[in-house]
Structure formats: C-alpha cells, structure tokens
C-alpha cells in the first residue's frame, strides 16, 4: 500500500535534529507504563453488562498531573481562524434533524454500528426489569419491540439483521408501556459500503466544564457527522459515577442519540474512588479497552495509551495482529486514536516518549494515515514521515497553551481554542479531507487533503 499527500497550500518539510530519544526502560510485559493493567470490574447489581476485561479498582494514574488552569489563563491562538465556510459534504438526506428540545433523564445513545447491526444503550433513574426498546424503518407504522428481564439501571440492546445503509427510528421506555423517549423518535443509520462518502467527527477532553462541552457538541451536531470519535478524558473522574451525567451524557445527549460514539480511554477515566464506569457506560467492539472497527472505506484503530504497549505486551501483540487483518489491509484509510500524543508542543512532557519509541515505528511500517490524540487541551497538527499527528483536546476542559514548541519540530498548525475535527472520506474518489472547526463553525485548519492508492 502506498500513500500520497496533497495539500491546498505549501507543506513545509521538517527534519529531525540529529539527537534521538533514548529508549526508556520499560516494565515487564503485562505491567503498566506509569499506570495499571485492566482486570475484571466488580459488577454492581444495577448494571446489565460489564466485559470480563474491564478493570478492577486500581491505584491512581501516575502520568504527569495536568496543571490547574482557569479560563483566564488560556493562551491566544497561534493560528488565526479564517472566515466561516460551509462544510464540504452536504447534510445527510436520510437523517432527521436533531431536535432542539433536550432529551429527558433516561435518554438513549448509540454504540458500535455496523452494516447490519447497532447497539443502543440508556439509563433509567431506577432499576427496572421491564424497560423496552422499539424500532422501525423510517416510514413504517409497525414497531418492533425488544426487551430483557434483568433488573438494571444501565440498559443495552443490540439490534441484529438490519438493512445496510438504511435509516431507522427508535425509542426507549422506562416502564415498557408508556413514556417512550424521546417523544419524537430518534434515528440511526446503519453503516455504508466501501464506496460511499461519509463524515466522522473527532474531539476530546470534554471533562470538567460542561457548558463549554455543550457548545462544542452543538457545533459538531451542525456538521452532521455519521460517526463520532472521542480522544479520551471524557469526564474529570471516570471512577466517580456522579461525573458522568453532568460532564458528558447531559451535554452530549442530543448528539449521541443520533450518532454512534466510539470512545478512547483517557487518564481521567481512571481517576476517582469507585469503579471503572467506562466499561458500564460504553459497549465498543472487542475487549472494549483497545479495539478496531471498519466503517465504509476506513479502518479505525483505538488504543489505551495508559496501559503497557511495549513489545511482548498484550496490547502491542494485538496491534501487530490488527495490522495484518483483512479489515485493516482492505481499507483505503487507516486512522489510529489514543489519548496521549506522540508529538506535542503542549505542557505535558515525558508521556509521549515511549509512544514515539514503540508505536510510531509500527504506524510507519503499516501505512497509518492519521493519528488522533488529546491530553493537551488545544488543537495541534504535526506531520512526520508522511503521517499526520493531530492533537484534538479542545472539547470542554480548560485550555492549554504551547510552552514547548521548540521540542516539537514537526508542528505545523496550533490553536488554543475549543474545537472539533471532521474527516470527510471520499471513498470512490480516493481522497480524505481534514477540517477543524471552532464552536462557531469558523474553519481553524484545513482543508488538508490526503490521497490513497492501493497497490493492485
């Protein structure tokens, strides 16, 4: 597979200084790099499902602590936004517009969509065994109902045997007979084939400031993505239940009820004193900690950069196997996502060194096109050896500046601003377009174009 790079402007070629990072001494395989290994979460009665690979309550993470910042401490953007432009892809014709009214306290959200299936989850205020889901093709008059008998608060149902690239509407009911939510049916669309154009949205570090997070979500909603990817640090303390509704599910409700969400585990998901709620609230494919999925003509590879990724470890071995899988090899585009960036001009130092030493060589050897991370609360685009490294951490948390620009010779564009990125996959035309938007949909970076050529 060979990749080419296109751009609407001149791309400055950067060279690496002659000095190299020394390879750090890593712990034995299956131990952690500064953090801890996953185990099996202790199931509580109100949860329906926790994967066996979920993590037991571990010690707090030991990555560099994020500085306490205030809104007034944010740095002036180093990249001036250009005037607002219209998104390249027109609105999806089959998707109903997102309603303006907020969803109620047991709102639903979408997970793990494929060509013929999707997972729908919702939480009820009390433990119910009679909560139900109903769905139908848009335009049909007869509902199909699904239910289960286990008494729980966090509900999860997978719908199988769906029609590819087709829009359905759905509702959930707390008591199984009335109070269907939302009162107007929400919709979802199954995944397209590898020839169809689609849009993915990427953002991260939505934690702590729920009002700022809500504004970012509103801007993402207006860009009408088909799938949503989060680069981690979803909430301030992922092991405290109370953080999840205020910081994530409430601000994001009107988006994730319509757009399937694929999360990345950030270091803050390990913070707190209760349990690893990530595994209760989300249902991505695979072992849920690291996983891969195909959507259209693209392959997305999600890693946990808090966990050991050195050679010989389970995550590293899985990644090597993933790069040899038919799903990866047969996709036109390969996108990797994890929380800690390998290249950054931000305030976090040291976290990126082992990632650059151990993961980047695999990316370069296996044709990865783009890598998305968060952790630093700003936007930055770097490029090294033909791979774009994007830091998208402006999802709501207090913003950071760029105090270590001199340590990242690959940096091209930077902005201290709340934002999200869109990836438009023109699958039939063999190119990919990156754009980055502020909360007013002003374009702060892009379009950046990549072309793809697969050897016959």
**Could you report the per-residue pLDDT of 251-279, keeping only the tens digit for each?**
999 999 999 999 999 999 999 889 999 99
Do 124 and 235 belong together in one domain?
no
User: Residue 180 sits in a domain of what CATH number?
Assistant: 2.60.40.10
pLDDT value, residue 10? 32
Asked if residue 21 belongs to a domain, the reply is: no
Whether residue 290 sits in one domain with residue 378: yes
Q: How far apart are CA 334 and CA 297, in angstroms?
A: 9
Burial class of residue 183, CB neighbours in 10 A (0-12, 13-18, 19+): exposed
Domain edge (last residue) among 160, 189, 218: 189
Residues 295 and 155 in one domain: no
Structural domain includes residue 359: yes
* pLDDT (tens digit per residue) in 60-70: 333 333 333 32
The arithmetic mean of pLDDT across residues 75-86, rounded, is 33
Give the CATH number for residue 391.
3.60.21.10
What is the total count of domains within the chain?
A: 2
Q: Which of 161, 189, 217 is the last residue of a domain?
A: 189
261 and 139, same domain (yes or no): no
Q: Are 445 and 415 contacting, i.e. CB atoms less than 8 angstroms apart? A: yes
N- to C-terminal Cα separation, the chain: 9
Q: Same structural domain for residues 244 and 227?
A: yes
| Domain region containing 172 | 114-189
Q: Provide the pLDDT for residue 350.
A: 63
340, 257: one domain: yes
180 and 319, same domain (yes or no)? no
Do residues 259 and 379 share a domain?
yes
Whether 18 is in a domain gets the answer no
Q: What is the pLDDT of residues 432-449, one digit of tens each?
A: 999 999 999 999 999 999
Predicted confidence at residue 16, as pLDDT, reads: 32
Residue 32 in domain = no
In percent, the amount of the chain with pLDDT more than 90 equals 65
Per the model's pLDDT, the better-predicted residue between 2 and 262 turns out to be 262
**171 contacts 180 by C-beta, under 8 angstroms:** yes
In-domain check, residue 424: yes
In a domain, residue 127? The reply is yes
Is the domain of 218 the same as that of 133?
no
Cα(90)–Cα(199) distance, integer angstroms: 10
pLDDT tens for 204-232 read 999 989 989 999 999 999 999 999 999 99
> Cα 434 from chain centroid?
16
What is the C-alpha separation between 28 and 365, in angstroms, rounded?
24
- Distance (Å, rounded) from C-alpha 199 to C-alpha 426? 9
Residues 183, 239: one domain? Answer: no
Asked if residue 229 is part of any domain, the answer here is yes
Q: What is the pLDDT of residues 153-208, one digit of tens each?
A: 899 999 999 999 999 999 998 877 778 888 889 999 999 999 999 999 999 999 98
The pLDDT confidence band at residue 28, using thresholds 50, 70 and 90, is very low
Domain boundary among 189, 221, 251: 189
Q: What is the mean pLDDT of residues 343-348?
A: 89
| 151 and 274 inside one domain | no
């Amino acid at each position: 597979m060979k990749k080419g790079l296109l751009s609407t402007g001149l791309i400055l070629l950067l060279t690496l200084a002659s000095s190299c990072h020394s390879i750090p001494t890593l712990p034995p395989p299956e131990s952690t790099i500064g953090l801890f290994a996953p185990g099996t979460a202790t199931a509580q009665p109100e949860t329906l499902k926790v994967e066996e690979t979920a993590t037991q309550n571990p010690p707090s993470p030991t990555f560099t602590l994020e500085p306490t910042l205030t809104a007034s401490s944010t740095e002036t953007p180093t990249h001036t936004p250009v005037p607002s432009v219209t998104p390249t892809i027109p609105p999806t014709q089959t998707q109903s517009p997102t309603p303006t009214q907020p969803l109620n306290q047991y709102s639903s959200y979408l997970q793990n969509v494929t060509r013929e299936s999707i997972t729908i989850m919702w939480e009820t205020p009390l433990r119910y065994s009679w909560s139900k889901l109903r769905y139908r093709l848009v335009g049909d008059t007869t509902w199909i109902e699904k239910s289960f008998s286990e008494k729980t608060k966090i509900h999860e149902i997978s719908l199988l045997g769906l029609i590819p690239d087709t829009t359905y509407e759905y509702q959930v009911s707390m008591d199984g007979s009335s109070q269907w939510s939302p009162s107007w049916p929400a919709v979802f669309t199954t995944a397209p084939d590898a020839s169809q154009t689609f849009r993915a949205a990427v953002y991260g570090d939505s934690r702590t400031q729920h009002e700022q997070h809500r504004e970012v979500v509103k801007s993402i909603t207006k860009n009408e993505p088909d799938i949503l990817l989060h680069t981690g640090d979803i909430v301030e303390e992922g092991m405290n239940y109370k953080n999840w509704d205020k910081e994530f599910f409430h601000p994001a409700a009107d988006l994730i009820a319509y757009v399937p969400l694929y999360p990345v585990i950030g270091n803050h998901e390990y913070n707190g004193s209760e349990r690893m709620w990530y595994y209760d609230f989300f249902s991505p494919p695979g072992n849920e900690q690291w996983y891969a999925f195909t959507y259209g003509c693209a392959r997305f590879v999600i890693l946990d950069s808090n966990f050991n990724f050195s050679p010989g470890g389970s995550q590293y071995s899985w990644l090597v196997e993933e790069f040899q899988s038919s799903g990866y090899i047969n996709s036109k585009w390969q996108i990797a996502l994890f929380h800690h960036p390998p290249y950054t001009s931000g305030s976090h130092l040291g976290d990126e060194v082992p990632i650059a030493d151990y993961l980047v060589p695999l990316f370069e050897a296996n044709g990865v096109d783009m890598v998305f991370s968060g952790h630093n609360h700003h936007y930055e685009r770097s490029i090294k050896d033909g791979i774009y490294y994007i830091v998208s951490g402006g999802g709501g948390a207090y913003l950071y500046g760029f105090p270590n620009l001199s340590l990242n010779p690959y940096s091209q564009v930077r902005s201290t601003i709340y934002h999200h990125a869109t990836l438009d996959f023109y699958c039939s035309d063999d190119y990919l377009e990156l754009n980055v938007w502020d909360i007013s949909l002003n374009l702060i970076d892009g379009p950046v174009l990549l072309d793809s050529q697969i050897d016959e």
